[in-house]
Structure 1
Amino acid sequence: MKHYTLKLTAVTPFHVGSGVKYSKKEYYVDTKTQTVTLMDMNKVMGWIAEQGHEALVVAFESFMMSRDDDDIRDFLTRRIRMPEAVQKSCVMYSFKCGGTFSRNRSKRDLSAFMRDAEGRPYVPGSSLKGALRTVLLVKMLLDGQFQYDINAGNPKTTKERLETAAERAEKRLLHKLNRTKYSNDMLNSIMSGFSVSDSLPFGNDEIIPAMKIDVSTGGEEVPIPTMRECARPGTELCFSLTISEETERFIGVSYLKKAIDEFGDYYSECYLSKYPQEFAENMDGCIFLGGGSGYYAKNIIYPMFADDRRKALEAVASFMEEQFKKQNHKHNKDIKLGVSPRMLKCTYVGGRLRQLGLCRVEIEEKND
C-alpha cells in the first residue's frame, strides 16, 4: 500500500448534497449582517406544543402552508411571541450569505451540504473518488484504450447506445484485476484498490448560498429556481489517499496527476472555449466536484469518441433531444452552436459569474 495526502482547494463554489432540503420558511436572512440562519423546526414545534394553545398550532400550520414569502423570525417574534432566548435555542446554524440575497431578495428552498452527526459540513471520500474516477476514465479514453462501437448491442435509442457503450468502456478500462472469473464483478475493478477517506469537517464560515444560473454560449443568463449551500472559494480540505500495490500497476499516483492535468486542458479546449472569454478559468490541476457542475464535468461520452468531436456532438445532442422532448428544449440546435448541452452551470461569486464545482488537487506522498 502507498499512502498519500490529497489537498483539495475550492476554486469556485461546490456543493456536495446531503439530500436534505430546507423550505424558504425554515430559514431567514439578516440583510444587515448578511447572515443566513437555519431554524430547527422540530424544536419550534416542540415549544409550540408545550404552550398548550390551539391558536398557536393553527397559526403555525397557516404560516407553513402559506405560499407567501413570510419570514420565520418575524412569525416567531410578532405572531406567536416566542422569547428571544427560546428562538436562539432553536437555531441549527448560521452562515454568511455573501450578498446573494441583496441581488435577488426572493428566497428559494435551500439544498443542504453534507454534514456529519454533529452538524459540521464535510466531503465524503466517495464523492471525491467518483470525481477522480471520471478524470481517470477521460484520460484512458483520450489515450485510445477503448474503441467505441456505436452499433454494439443494436440498442433502439441514442440514450441506450451511449449508456451501453459507456458501461462497456468502464468495464474494459477498469476491470483488470482478474480476482474472480466474472468480468462484471466489482472486485475486479482497479478502483477497488483506490481508497479515499472522508475529509475533516470544516466550519460554517466556509459555507455560502449559491443560486444556480445557466449561461448560454452568447453569455445570456437564465436564473434557475435552485439554491444550494456551497463551500466557498478558498476552502481547503484534506483527504487520505491509499493505493494498493495491485492497483498501482495500472493507476499509480503519477498517472493520476497526469490525468488531472490533461483533464483541465481537454475541458477548456472541448467545452469552455465555446463560451465568452470572461468565463475562462485556470484549469491547472483542477477537477470538478459535487452537484450542479454540468454534463461535461461528470460524463465520459465526449472522450469516448476520442478526436471525432463532430460525432460526439451529434450523439449527445440527439440524446438530449430524446430526454427533453416534452420540454421542447430544442437540443437539435446545439449542433450549430458546437456544444451540447449548451448551458454553462454558474453562480455569482463576488459580483462575478463563475462555474460551479471547480477544485484544485494537490497530492503528496506521506512520510512514514
Structure 2
Amino acid sequence: MMKLSLRVITPICVRSGENASAIADYIYDPQKRAIYLIDQVKFNRWLMEQGENARFLIKDITSLVSSQQGTLVDFFNEHGLLPRDFSRAAIPVSFPNSITFGNRNLFLPTLTGGKPYIPGSSIKGAIRTALMFDYIKNQDNGGPGYGATSHLQDSRQVYTGSDIFCLPDHRSRLLPENDALRFLQVTDTIPSSLESLRVYALERKGGTTTAIPALLLGFYPGTEMTFEVNILPGFEKANIPEYWKKFFNRGEVAILRAISNYSLALLEDELNRLKKRSNKPPENQLLYNSYTRILSNTKNSIKQGGALLRVGFGKTYYFNSIGYFMSDEEKEKYKGNWKRVKLVSEFPTTRWMIRTPDNQCLPAGWSLVQEKRI
C-alpha cells in the first residue's frame, strides 16, 4: 500500500451532479466578492423559532422558490437577516469582474458530511488512462503515428481499452473477474474544508462562438489531501494479461511512474499544439504560459518521484484517449466515430480553461501526486 499526497496545482472540481441555487442555497455579496453557502438546518431552525410568524415566512420562501422571481437576498433584506449568521462558509469568487455573476446555479463538488473531497473512482479513472498509455508505449514500442492501430478492429468500433486490461473467457466474453484493474484499489481523498473552495468560471474557448462560462466550486491551488493506492494480492494467479502481472509485481511505485510519463508526454504534445496556434484564439498563449509555469514549478518534485495527474473538469481529447499514438491518417480513418470533428490535425479546436481575476488562463484539474513519507 502506498499513501500519497495530492496537492492542487490548478482548480479542481469533480462534480457531484448537484447544483447550488441562488434562490435557496447561497447568497452572493458583490461588495465582498464572496458567496455565503446557507446552512439549511440553521435557517430552518430560525424559521421554526418565529412562532406564529413561521407559517407566513415559510409561505414567503415557498412562493419565492416556486415563482423564481427573486432570491434569498430579497428575503434576507426584507426581514433584516445577515447572511453570515446562517452561513456554512463564505467562499471567495475567483474570476474577473468582467464575468457577470447573475443568479446562476453553481456546480457543486462531491461532498461527504458537507466537506469536499475527490472520489477514488475519479482518480482511478485518470490512472486507468495513464496505464493504457503505458501499455501501448511499452508493449507496442509505440510512438506518435503508430502503436494503436492494431487495437482498433474496424471503423465501426471505437477502441475503449477493455482488451488491454481484460482477458476473454472461452466464449470471448470480457468478464469483470478477468479484469486486471480489480486488483488496483484507490481510496477517496481525505475530505477538505469548505474554505479550501473558490467560485470559478469555467470557459470553453476556441470555437466560433463564445459560450457562457459555467460557474463551479473548485479546490483552490495549494490545497493538499491524501489518499491511498493499493495493489491487492492474488493477481499472480488470476486470469489477467501477463503484462499486468509483471507490472503489479513492481509495486505501487510503478503506477506513479506510469502516471508521470503519461502526463509529461501529453503535456509536451499539448504545448506543441498550443505553440502552433498561439493566437487562435489568443487565450492559447495564456494556456501555453500556464503549462510552462506548471512544469517549471513542479520539476524538482517530479525528479524526486512525484507525478502530475489531471482529474475532474478540464480534460480534453488528448488527455482521455490513445490519440497521441495515432497519425492524422489513422485518425481520418476513424473520424466518423467522433462527433463534431471536422479536421483531425486541428483537434481539439476548443479547450476548457479557468480565467483568473488577473486575466490569466489556467487549465483545470491539475494536481501533483507524491508518496507521503511517514
Query: What TM-score, normalized by structure 2, do the two folds share?
Result: 0.75
Which of residues 305, 310, 313 is equivalent to 1:288? Answer: 310
Instruction: Give 5+ residue unaligned stretches, structure 1.
Output: 156-160, 322-330
Matches within 5 A, 1:63-78: 63-66=64-67, 70-78=70-78
Structure 2 distance, partners of 1:315, 1:7, is 39
Which of residues 18, 21, 42 is equivalent to 1:20? Answer: 18
CA contact (8 A) 2:165 2:180 kept: yes
Counterpart of 2:27 in structure 1: which amino acid?
Answer: Y
Distance 1:360 1:222, change over 3 A: farther
Distance 1:313 1:31, change over 3 A: farther
CA contact (8 A) 1:180 1:188 kept: no
Whether 2:110 is the aligned partner of 1:111: answer no
Distance 1:273 1:222, change over 3 A: farther
Whether 2:190 is the aligned partner of 1:194: answer no
Which of residues 171, 175, 187 is equivalent to 2:166? Answer: 175
Counterpart of 1:14 in structure 2: which amino acid?
Answer: I
Distance 1:301 1:67, change over 3 A: farther
| Secondary structure of the structure 2 residue equivalent to 1:192 | helix
Counterpart of 2:313 in structure 1: which amino acid?
Answer: G
Structure 2 distance, partners of 1:51, 1:144, is 74
Structure 1 distance, partners of 2:97, 2:74, is 17
CA contact (8 A) 2:185 2:231 kept: yes
Structure 1 distance, partners of 2:266, 2:316, is 12
Distance 1:66 1:296, change over 3 A: farther
Equivalence for 2:137: 142
Report how far residue 21 of structure 1 moved: 0.8
Distance 1:315 1:266, change over 3 A: farther
Structure 2 distance, partners of 1:111, 1:34, is 18
Structure 2 distance, partners of 1:51, 1:345, is 51
| Secondary structure of the structure 1 residue equivalent to 2:330 | helix
Instruction: Give 5+ residue unaligned stretches, structure 2.
Output: 141-146, 236-243, 279-284, 296-301
- Deviation string 1:67-109 (CA, Å, 9 cap, x unpaired) is 55x441332231xx1655xx65643433222355674232421
Which of residues 309, 332, 339 is equivalent to 1:320? Answer: 339
Structure 1 distance, partners of 2:223, 2:217, is 13
Distance 1:181 1:82, change over 3 A: farther
| Secondary structure of the structure 2 residue equivalent to 1:28 | strand
Query: What TM-score, normalized by structure 1, do the two folds share?
Result: 0.76
CA contact (8 A) 1:100 1:210 kept: no
Distance 1:75 1:206, change over 3 A: same
Equivalence for 1:262: 261
CA contact (8 A) 1:108 1:225 kept: no
Report how far residue 278 of structure 1 moved: 2.7
Matches within 5 A, 1:1-368: 3-25=1-23, 26-40=25-39, 44=43, 51=52, 56-66=57-67, 70-78=70-78, 81=79, 83-84=81-82, 90-99=86-95, 103-117=99-113, 119-145=114-140, 147-149=148-150, 152=153, 155=156, 161-162=157-158, 165-166=159-160, 169-171=161-163, 173-175=164-166, 184-216=174-206, 222-244=210-232, 246=235, 249-251=246-248, 252-275=251-274, 276=278, 277-280=285-288, 281=291, 282-283=294-295, 285-297=307-319, 299-303=320-324, 306-312=325-331, 315-316=334-335, 319-321=338-340, 331-332=341-342, 334-335=343-344, 338-351=345-358, 352-363=360-371
Counterpart of 2:214 in structure 1: which amino acid?
Answer: T
CA contact (8 A) 2:199 2:217 kept: yes
Distance 1:98 1:278, change over 3 A: closer
Report how far residue 347 of structure 1 moved: 0.7
Distance 1:83 1:232, change over 3 A: closer
Structure 1 distance, partners of 2:171, 2:6, is 37
Counterpart of 1:64 in structure 2: which amino acid?
Answer: V
CA contact (8 A) 2:155 2:334 kept: no
Q: Please identify, of 249-258 and 339-348, the stretch whose mean Cα deviation from structure 2 is larger.
A: 249-258
- Deviation string 1:117-161 (CA, Å, 9 cap, x unpaired) is 2x1111122221111111111221233547535873673xxxxx2
| Secondary structure of the structure 1 residue equivalent to 2:349 | coil
| Secondary structure of the structure 1 residue equivalent to 2:346 | coil
CA contact (8 A) 1:194 1:244 kept: yes
Report how far residue 354 of structure 1 moved: 0.8
C-alpha RMSD of the superposition: 3.3
CA contact (8 A) 1:15 1:292 kept: no
Distance 1:342 1:99, change over 3 A: closer
| Secondary structure of the structure 1 residue equivalent to 2:112 | coil
Structure 2 distance, partners of 1:291, 1:184, is 30
CA contact (8 A) 1:24 1:109 kept: yes
CA contact (8 A) 1:271 1:339 kept: no
Report how far residue 301 of structure 1 moved: 4.1
- Deviation string 1:178-199 (CA, Å, 9 cap, x unpaired) is 9999752222222111111221
